[in-house]
Chains A and B, each alone.
Chain A
Amino acid sequence: MITHPRTEELAQAVGAWIDQIRPSLDPRNAFLARVAANAMATIGRELTLGPVAEARAIAAMAEVLGHEGTHGELNHALCERIHAGEFTVETPGLLAALKIMARDQIAIDQPNYKPEGTPPPSPRQLPGA
């Protein structure tokens, strides 16, 4: 990948421009523009965090399945083993691997999302505190 600019910088620049024109739009388009700016941010995060997340997912899936493969091959095999009932919540390492993959993906898609099991915010994080 070339630099000056990197791809994520292009996404960042487009996102910033969308935010800049948002106030001038009608409510429906202002809403869609916010969604578009969010999409640009997601693209930026996927570009920067995606490679590490994919490598980690490959390692985690290969460990559970006991064989190597591309991300697509391993993911397909994992789904098949689960669908066939061969892998269950009892399968050693399965939930741990899925949790790593889920956490890495939410960090790209919605870093502010608070999944099940997130502890309560500390008092200073609460609004109005």
Chain B
Amino acid sequence: MTVDVLASLPRLAQRLGGEAAHLAAAERLSGGASMETWAFALDGPNGHEDLILRRRSAPFDPETARSVSLATEAALIQATAKTGAPVPPIRHICDDADGLGEAYVMGRVGGETLGRRIVSDPKFDAVRPKLARQCGQVLVPIHATAPPPGLNLKLSDGEGELNRYEEVYRASGAERPILDLAFQYLRRHLPAPTDPVLLHGDFRNGNIMFDAEQGVAAVLDWELSHIGDPAEDMGWICTNSWRFGRPDHPVGGFGEYADLLDGYKAAGGRPVELSRVRFWQMLGSLRWGVMCLTMYLSWASGVERSVERPMIGRRVSETEADLVVLLEEGL
């Protein structure tokens, strides 16, 4: 089903702002393969509102999808907001009357999400040293949130993730010695079991809105949220593929391990050992490597024809270049 978003937005603006409201602006911000983000604004009796529409543009299969439904995503944002996590305000969850398919509307939060700007733009020089600590702090309310009932979030731990990604790797037919060695090493260094918590699941530089004065403004992109080891969220933001050319700053390309861990502890989180974060960081590189392989496979099988897919396949070597150093250093 093709949805004409631009044609549906004026009606949505009236539904949100009242009969007298009208659509003031609309612009598509980004379009992944399955998800669209639109910025729009409405003017009405209650004034001007800047809003974001997030909608799924490809069918959602809850059986096979790694991601959660958009309704679940909105419910998680609302739940974590109540425990004090910085998240965008959810304004509306779309239904059939909106004619937009699976979608929700949130208030627009100002700031920057582009990872490269956050690690290198002089505008962020003053706030940059504070960001790693803030990232540790904001994970505490997220991890302390009791997931709303009935969402059926996936539960995973280190061993489960390794099994899942190794199965994909073996099935791909690719033979990459560094990936093999990383699977072996991580299986031999599984962290002790821990009480599972709600995870953001994609907590990395690029999915966080940063304000140049205040730092963390909002945690975005909740579609990979699940239940698991708190160190998973910490390790993913340390994975070098998301450091945007600054591997010398392990946290997101902007900060240091100690600040992330201290921020988490100071905000009341149960202390996490660095080796545990490094386990998840290495698994993060390995996971991204396998994901790059699956991007190539989706092209090779003819499911996707975009030139982007096989080129992402060539990003496996970035994870190999990172993994071989991590394997030398150890956890």
Q: Contact residues of A with B, CB < 8 Å?
A: 28, 31-32, 35-36, 38-39, 42, 75-76, 78-79, 82-83, 85, 87-89, 94-95, 98-99, 101-103, 105-106, 108-110, 112-120, 126-128
Would you give 30 A-B contacts (Cβ < 8 Å), ordered by A?
A: A31-B308, A39-B307, A39-B311, A42-B311, A75-B175, A79-B176, A82-B184, A83-B184, A85-B184, A89-B181, A89-B185, A89-B330, A98-B181, A98-B324, A98-B327, A101-B177, A101-B320, A102-B317, A105-B317, A105-B320, A109-B314, A109-B315, A109-B317, A110-B315, A114-B245, A114-B247, A116-B247, A117-B247, A118-B248, A127-B120
Contacts A42-B314, A82-B177, A110-B314; A32 near B308 (Cβ below 8 A): yes
A113 adjacent to B321 (CB under 8 Å): yes
Q: Does any Cβ of A come within 8 Å of B246's Cβ? A: yes
Q: How far is the CA of A60 from the CA of B46 in the complex (A)?
A: 70
Contact of A88 among B184, B315, B318 (CB under 8 A): B184
Query: Shortest beta-carbon distance, A79 to chain B, in Å?
Result: 5
B177 adjacent to A115 (CB under 8 Å): no
Residue of B nearest to A85 (CB): B184
A98 adjacent to B178 (CB under 8 Å): yes
Contact of A99 among B121, B310, B328, B330 (CB under 8 A): B328
Q: How far is the CA of A114 from the CA of B31 in the complex (A)?
A: 27
Residues of A within 8 A of B326 (CB): 116
Interface positions of B from 300 to 316, Cβ below 8 Å from A: 306-308, 310-311, 314-315
Residues of A within 8 A of B185 (CB): 88-89
Q: How far is the CA of A85 from the CA of B180 in the complex (A)?
A: 10
Q: Does any Cβ of A come within 8 Å of B322's Cβ? A: yes
Q: Contact residues of B with A, CB < 8 Å?
A: 31, 120-122, 175-178, 180-181, 184-185, 240, 243, 245-248, 306-308, 310-311, 314-315, 317-318, 320-330
Query: Shortest beta-carbon distance, A107 to chain B, in Å?
Result: 9
A83 adjacent to B180 (CB under 8 Å): yes
Contacts A114-B247, A115-B325; A102 near B320 (Cβ below 8 A): yes
B325 adjacent to A116 (CB under 8 Å): yes
Query: Shortest beta-carbon distance, A105 to chain B, in Å?
Result: 4
Q: How far is the CA of A118 from the CA of B31 in the complex (A)?
A: 32
Q: How far is the CA of A35 from the CA of B295 in the complex (A)?
A: 14
B322 adjacent to A116 (CB under 8 Å): yes
B307 adjacent to A32 (CB under 8 Å): yes
Residue of A nearest to B170 (CB): A83
A95 adjacent to B327 (CB under 8 Å): yes
A128 adjacent to B122 (CB under 8 Å): yes
Q: How far is the CA of A38 from the CA of B311 in the complex (A)?
A: 8
